[in-house]
Every structure is written in structure tokens, then in C-alpha cells.
Chains A and B, each alone.
Chain A
Amino acid sequence: MRINVNHHRHLLWVALVSVSMALAMAVMLVLQLTQRQSIRQSSQVGNDSITAMAFQYEREFLRFRQALRGVVQERTPPDLDDVRLRLDIFVSRLGLLRDNPSITLLQERPEYAEVIPGMEQLVARTDQVLSRDAPDAQAMADLLVEFNAAGPAVQALSMAANSQVSLLLERQGSTLLRQNDQIIWLTLAQLIGLLVASGSLVVRHRKQEQLRLEWQRLNANLVAANLQAENANRGKSQFLANMSHELRTPFNGMLGMLGLLEGTTLNAEQADYVNTVRGSASHLLALLNDILDVSALDVGKMAVNPIPVQLPSLLRDVDALMQPLAKEKKLDFSLVLHTELPAWVEADGTRIKQILLNLVSNAIKFSPQGAIALDVECDFAPAARATDTVVLRLRVSDQGIGMDAATIGCLFQRFSQGDASISRRFGGTGLGLEISRNLARLMGGDITVQSQPGQGSQFSLELPLACVPAPPPMLPHVVEAVPLDHRIPGGETAPGLDILVAEDHPVNRKYMQALLSRLGHRIRFVEDGLQAVAEVRRAMPDLVFMDVHMPVMDGLQATQSLRAGGDQAAQVYIVALTADAFAESRERALAAGMDAFLSKPVRIDQIETLLQQRFGARATPRRDPVAPAVEVPVPAAAQPLATKPPRRRFRAGDVAHHLDMAMLGEICVAVSLDGYRSLVDGFFSDESGTFATLLSALERGELAALHASAHALKGAAASLGLHALADLAAQTEQVGAQWSAEECAANRQQLMGLHLTAHALCHRMGLTTQAPVDGVAIGR
């Protein structure tokens, strides 16, 4: 405000100075013009100066008087023509004194009035006298007297003219001086004005400079403050990321233990508890992942990694994952493909899936009833080249509670979720949509929303995607021969793999031990990278699970150290194990020389898949069970641990593959569950001995005996709904007579496996009272 007032005052000053200087200049201009005018006038006067005229007049007067005197006094024959010419010339001079424009100055003088009118009369009379052919001598004498008498007056006129001109010059001079003075004063005033103006400009400039410096200082402070705030924010994000990691480590342990717990015999109540814990844990894990994502976005570490993705299968995955969720709330969820879609696009499928799952699960969450649809359309023309970019539009619409404009306004803001009542009612962090939109924008697209309260919502995800040709079909993973020496000193091939786990966290060690020993492998533990390097060099394992973050020496350094060794240990297969979810962590691990990457929490099937890909059959040891080792591993000693027998795990579809549930249900209805249970118990304990007979026939290659026992087993298994076992038995019954010894052995193995799995399944389902014991029930 003060600055503004100052500014106005300054403007007023500048205006005042300018106006007064302009005025002074105008006055000077007027003065100069006046001067010019008066100079021009005086020069005009000078053109025919009155002194010269008066002088010429007097001269011609004297010449004429002289001529007249000659005629009158000398009495010689007069040259009258000459006298007349002199008179004429004199008359012309008189005329000039009367008519010349310059003469006005002289006409004001009394001398003029005294001489001119009288002279004109005298001249007129003289003209009369001289015009006669013979002028009268007396008349001429009289005229001469008169001309003589006029002499002083004519002389006086000359002097008058002279003094008049002097007077004029004096007057002009004084006028010029006066004007000159005025001009000097005005110039002085202008000078002062200029000095004042420039002075004020200097003062103002100084003030502005001060202000500018002030602003600069303020700006620097602001920049510093901003930097500080940014650093603080980055620190916060880093802290969040670190916290998430820290949380994931114990969480990993919890999940692992939970998995192990699920594998034990639980009663219904306990199973329910475990299920609840599993649900909570999944939720917590989702939350942690969200926080990690947000932290990654904040510190700019979020990256998308586009690879060729099969679009329809991605959408089917989303559909498959969301259907159960929708069904649970009795909502109808449909995937609608409006247009033909490109089969393969270059995209980060995981991220797209993440966005879609978020949008659809939101729709389910906020829909008490009604249908939910995922509409997909794009501008794809099948004729287009494979490398064209298409815009994929995915619209998730629901008929749920909807939102008002204010809610939409803060929808994509962090930590905000509808209004307070909604967040209390529905829960959630409010991070999902922010992450989704940021991801969409990272991928060059965006998310928009349309909604009205009570009318449902529509979230539209637009993504520009490059179409790519279908990659060559994935060949089944080639199982490499393992050239490494894994024989134990006794010369016998030890079952399972020799695995080294480098992990500093005891919970994670315990988890890994549980997982790997269940898979039937031998495990060694070390606590840091340095120990890992030493242990690998001491005794080469088949595989190293290497935690990335460890004290003393981290996993990356350890890997680099091993790879740089140049010995056999440099060839060891290393799998990175980290809770670090940033994409760059994977790249860092691979860059350090690691062979594969698993992010925590690790699932047993991931490890199983990885091991099978790398080691094939060796990864699934078939061996006689040994007494389970229960001791806790002592990592520092890196002692090889005795392995627990592999526990049976079930996969999705196991039930359907092994059991005919419809048949089973009918039997239960017919004979009650207890009745069925006793039948199954009898079957699995092989009361009839049919199973043992069949196995022994197969073992001994007694092909002739196969038919009868296989037939008997087929009937029993089929009537109990154990159809996988029944099928194999039927096959054995039909074609077993032609089998070779090897085929017999393989089928025997398979029969045992099916028998065991079916038993375990039934036991898990509470259909049998006795737990299966591997190998025990099998007669030898």
C-alpha cells in the first residue's frame, strides 16, 4: 500500500515537471517566433532603409536646386531639359517618401509633416513653371528662393530619419535583450526542472533497487524454504518407503507362518481364525503396497516398464479376479468389449491391472446393488499396422451411491475419500485413486470421472498404447542339465537341492527354512553377504537366495564379489530376495549379476516354479520321509539342516481333479457323512488289500495279476467318487498287460501319488479320520 502511494506521488511529480517544462518550452517557442517576426520586419525595413531614402531625397533636392540656381543665376542659355529631368528625379524621390511602405516610421516624425506637404506644393508649382516652353525667369528666381528656404527642413528630415532608425535599432536591441533575458530565465528554469527530475529519478531508482534487493532476498528465502520443504517431503516419502520395507520384513514372516499354520491340522474354528487373519493380512499388504507406490511416486522412482502384453488375457484376468468379489456382494459384474481389440500391445500390464482392479473394486465397494460393467473400446482398425498406436478407453461404470461435484473435486487427492461419513462407512486409505491417476499419467493417459449422487459413477481410463506383433510363442522352459557337483561325500546323490540362504532377519530365515524344507531341500543359512561369499567358496551350493539388504555386506556387493572371483563359485545361481518393491531394485539386482529376482513376501509356489525351471526334476525330490527335524537353524554355523518331510499342499483344482464331488455328495446323502467316512477309511487303510496287491503286481511285473486287482480298485475308487484314482486304475486294467517294467514302475509311482493326494484331500475335508502317512499305507 505504501509502495502504491509512493508510486502515485512519483507519477504526479513526473507529470508536474513534464508539464512545467513543456510550458517553458512553449513560451520559448512563442518568444523565438516573435523574435523571428521582428527580425524579419527590421530586415524588410532595411531593404529600403529610410536613411538612404532621406539621403537620396536630400541629394536630389540639392541637385535640382543646383540646376535651378544655374538657370536663374548664370543667365546662360538654360539646359531646361536637364532641369526638368532633375525635377522629375526629385519628384520620384518625393514620391518614394510618400508611398514607400518602409516610410511609415518616418511619417510619425514632425519633421516629415513640416517638409513633405509643403514640398509637394512647391514641386507642383515648379513643374508648372518648368513645363512652359520658355519659363518665366522671375518665377524661377522665386522658386529658387523657396527651395533655398526649404533647405534646412530637408536637412532636418535627413537627420530625423537617421535618429528614427537609431531609435528603432535601440528599441529592437532592447526588445532582443529582454527576450534574451526571458529565454535565459526559461532555460534556467528548464535546467532546474531537469535536475530535479533526474534527481527524483535517481532517488526512485535507488528505492526500486532497494526494493528489488529486498525481493531478491525474500525470493531466495522462499526458494530455500521451498527446497527445505521439498527435502522434508522427500525425507518423509523416503521414511514412508523405509517404513514400508521395515514393515514388510516382519510381515513376510507373519504371512509365511500363517501359510505354515494353514498347512497344519486345524479344527473349523481355528481355520476360521486363520482365514480372518489371512484376510486382514491381505488388506494390510495392499495398504503397504499403496504406501510404497505413493512414496515411489513422490520421490519420482515410479516407473512403467512396457513389454508386449496380451490385452484380452489381461482383461480376462481382471474379470476372473473381480467376479468372486462381485458375487460376494451379489452384484453383477460384466466385461464388455465394444470393439475389436489389438491382441498384443506394449504396456505395463501389471500397472494397468492395478488401475483396473482399483477402479472395479471401488465400484464394487460403493455399490450396494446394481450391475457393474467394464466397457472396453478403442479406435483399433484390424487393418492397421501392428506398430500403430491406439487409444484404449476402459470405462468402469456402476449404479452405486455416486458422488456430488465437491466429492469429485477432491477425489484424486491424497488421503481424501469422499466425505468423512463415507470413509467411516467404507474404509480405505484414499490412496488408490491418486496412485491410479498418477500411473495412468505416467503411461501417457488419464483417468476422468463422471458421477451424480445416487446415480452411480463412471470412471474412464484412457491409454495410448502401441500395437505390437505377437511375440514368438513361449517355448516350454528348457530344463538345463545341472553340471554342478552335488554329490555328497558318500558318493550317493543326496535328494533335493543344496540351497544357501543369506538372510539377516531371523523371522525370514525361519520362513525360508519352513518353505524350502517342505519342498524337500537341504538348507544352509548365513547372516550377511560376507558370510555368503565365504560359504559359497567353501562348499558350492546349487542355489543361493540372497537378501539384498544385509549388514556388513549387502546382497549386491556379495554377488559382485562372487562373480568377480573367476573360480567355480562365480558360476553359482543367485536369486535376489528383497522386500524392495521399486522397479529399479530388480534392475539393480540383475545388473549386479544376480540371475533371478523374487520380491517378498515370497510364496511357496513361486519358489517351486523357480526351482523347477532351473533344476527340473531335481527340484521335486521323491524320497522316503525321514523324521522331521524341529530344531531352529543356527545360521552362524552354517550347518546343513536336516529336512522335514515334504508336506502335501493343495492347488486350485485339486479337489475337482481328484474327487467327484457330485458323486460324493450323493453318497453322503445316501449313507450320511459318518457312513461315507467309514467307507473311505476302509478304502484308504486298504482293508481289502486290493491296492497293495496291485502295487506289488506292478512292482514285480506280474502283468497277468494286474487286470483283476486294477479292476477291483477301479470299482471301489469310482464308487467312493475318487475318480482320478479310478481313471488310472481303469487304464491299468485295460492296457496294463502290455506295459514294460519301466512303465509299470512309473504307473505304480503315479498310483501311489493319486492315492496319497486323494487321501490327504479327504482328510483335509474331514471325510476321513486317519491322516495319510506317506508310504506307510503302501504295502511293500
Chain B
Amino acid sequence: MLRQPILFSIALVAGLLAGVSMPASALAPAAGKTVLSVTGLVGEKNTDTAAVFDMAMLEKLPQQTFTTHTPWDKQPVTFTGPLLRDVLAAVKASGTQLKAMALNDYQTTIPMEDAQRFDVIVAYKLNGQAIPVKTKGPLFIVYPFDSKTELQTTRYYERSAWQLKSIKIE
């Protein structure tokens, strides 16, 4: 886990020394195990076909934490992760909607504007802990259900894809 920041720092320093301007949004290649792949209308890719993220890349994005009730838990739970719009910005996503795909082939469609209207996050921590697949991990698209009544409906519960595997921008 310690390796990536060091590597990133080295790359950054190298870039600066070489006088090459390195855009902040430029997507570095995934060093660790891929946890999320974004395909479709993305402007920034780090593989031939997709922009892929390992956990470290997600951790480097600005972080958001909120606590909310969910239909799947008896108690309110705290989620942590980058905002969906930051993830989409990182890959320079364009298009109107995104299709989220889960490990169990669950698929749901999320309008792009949801990422702007709500503080939707791609959570990788639940109550401060990494989320194993055995529960709902490793990634979980979560809406801040408690912040708005309109979010407490089936429409948004359905859009909250857990065991998130990939996103396709359309």
C-alpha cells in the first residue's frame, strides 16, 4: 500500500525535472489489482479499452464520508469513498448515462446528472473498514439517502449498485 504514493511522487518529481507538464487529471496506469473499470465514452484511458482503477487510485481522489440509513442495514452506516463525479471527471467521461455492473451481473442505469445533483460516492469503506465481497464490496455506489427524502425511493435504491465491478458510459 505504501508503494503507490512513493511511485507517484517519483513520477511527479521526474516529470517536473524533465520539464514535461503532467496534467493533474492524467490517469496513471493501475499498479495494483483492478477494482473498477470504466469503459465507453471516456476521454482518459490507461488501458487499450478502458480506464481502470486500483484501490490506491480511488484513495487518491478527494474523499467523501457520510452516514445514512439504507434498505439493507438495520442501523445507519457510514460510507467513505470518492465522489462519483470526481471519478467520472478523472476519466473525462462524456455522455448521458452510465451503466453500473455488479459482480453478480446486476446491472443498473444511472443518469449522468445524478452524479452532479447528488453527492453520490463510490464507497470502498463501510464504517471505516474495507468492504469484502462477502458483504457488499469491494465497491458500492451509494446515494446520501438521508440527505433528501426524494432519494428514499426504489428508483435510487436500485441505482445503488453494490459489489460494483465496472461502469460503462453511454
Contact = CB atoms under 8 A, between A and B. Distances in A.
Interface of A: 43-44, 46-48, 56, 59-60, 63, 85, 88-89, 91-92, 95-96, 99-102
B75 to A, nearest CB: 9
Contacts of A85: 103, 133
Contacts of A89: 103-104, 133, 163
A92 B140 CA distance: 13
B73 A99 contact: yes
Contact of B71 (A48, A56, A59, A60): A48
Given A48-B157, A56-B104, A60-B104, A102 B135 contact: no
B72 A48 contact: yes
10 contacts: A48-B157, A59-B104, A88-B133, A89-B103, A89-B133, A91-B134, A92-B136, A95-B135, A100-B72, A100-B73
Shortest 8 CB-CB contacts between residues of A and residues of B = A88-B133, A91-B134, A47-B71, A48-B71, A88-B134, A101-B74, A89-B104, A92-B134
A48 B162 CA distance: 13
B43 interface: no
Interface string B93-105: 0000000000110
Contacts of B103: 85, 89
Given A63-B104, A88-B134, 10 more contacts: A47-B71, A48-B71, A56-B104, A88-B133, A89-B103, A89-B163, A91-B133, A92-B134, A101-B71, A102-B71
A56 B162 CA distance: 14
B135 A92 contact: yes
Contacts of A59: 104
Interface string B52-90: 000000000000000000011110000000000000000
B29 interface: no
Q: Is the interface of A mostly helix, strand, loop or mixed?
A: helix
Nearest to B132: A88
Interface in B110-158: 132-136, 154, 157
Given A47-B154, A60-B104, A101 B73 contact: yes
Contacts of A91: 133-134
A552 to B, nearest CB: 108
Interface residues of B, number: 14
A579 B126 CA distance: 124
A99 B74 contact: yes
A95 B73 CA distance: 11
B126 to A, nearest CB: 12
A63 B103 CA distance: 12
Q: Is the interface of B mostly helix, strand, loop or mixed?
A: loop
Contact of A92 (B73, B74, B163): B163
B133 A92 contact: yes
B153 to A, nearest CB: 8
A96 B70 CA distance: 13
A405 B91 CA distance: 112
Contacts of B163: 89, 92
A89 B164 CA distance: 12
A96 B72 contact: yes
Nearest to A63: B104
B68 to A, nearest CB: 14
A95 B71 CA distance: 14
A47 B156 CA distance: 10
A307 B71 CA distance: 106
A99 to B, nearest CB: 7
A435 to B, nearest CB: 90
B74 A44 contact: no
Which one of B72, B74, B135, B163 has the greatest number of beta carbons of chain A within 10 Å?
A: B72
Nearest to A96: B72
A47 B157 contact: yes
Contacts of A96: 72
Contacts of A60: 104
A44 B73 contact: no
Contacts of B136: 92
Nearest to B72: A100
Nearest to A45: B71
Given A60-B104, A85-B103, A89-B103, A44 B132 contact: no
Nearest to B133: A88
A95 to B, nearest CB: 6
A31 to B, nearest CB: 25
A58 to B, nearest CB: 12
Contacts of A46: 154
Which one of B104, B132, B135 has the greatest number of beta carbons of chain A within 10 Å?
A: B104
B146 to A, nearest CB: 15
A104 B88 CA distance: 38
A662 B48 CA distance: 166
Nearest to A44: B71
Contacts of A44: 71
A92 B133 CA distance: 7
A47 B136 CA distance: 17
A43 B153 CA distance: 9
Nearest to A47: B71
A102 B136 CA distance: 17
Contacts of A48: 71-72, 157
B166 to A, nearest CB: 14
A99 B74 CA distance: 8
A567 B154 CA distance: 121
A100 B163 CA distance: 16
B10 to A, nearest CB: 31
Contacts of B104: 56, 59-60, 63, 89
Contacts of A102: 71
A99 B73 CA distance: 7
Contacts of B134: 88, 91-92, 95
Contacts of A100: 71-73
A80 B163 CA distance: 19
A90 to B, nearest CB: 9
Nearest to B106: A56
A101 B76 CA distance: 12
Nearest to A104: B74
Contacts of A88: 132-134
A60 B105 CA distance: 11
Nearest to A101: B74
A585 B67 CA distance: 109
B102 to A, nearest CB: 9
A652 B63 CA distance: 135
A461 B153 CA distance: 94
A543 B67 CA distance: 127
A44 B136 CA distance: 20
A655 B149 CA distance: 126
Contacts of B132: 88
A56 B106 CA distance: 10
Contacts of B133: 85, 88-89, 91-92
A63 B157 CA distance: 25
A99 B134 CA distance: 13
Contacts of A99: 72-74
A92 B135 CA distance: 4
Nearest to B131: A92
A48 B70 CA distance: 10
Nearest to A87: B134
Contacts of B135: 92, 95
Nearest to A127: B134
A91 B135 CA distance: 7
B107 to A, nearest CB: 13
Contacts of A43: 154
B100 to A, nearest CB: 16
A44 B74 CA distance: 13
Interface string B26-66: 00000000000000000000000000000000000000000
A100 B154 CA distance: 16
Nearest to B157: A47
A125 to B, nearest CB: 15
A101 B133 CA distance: 20
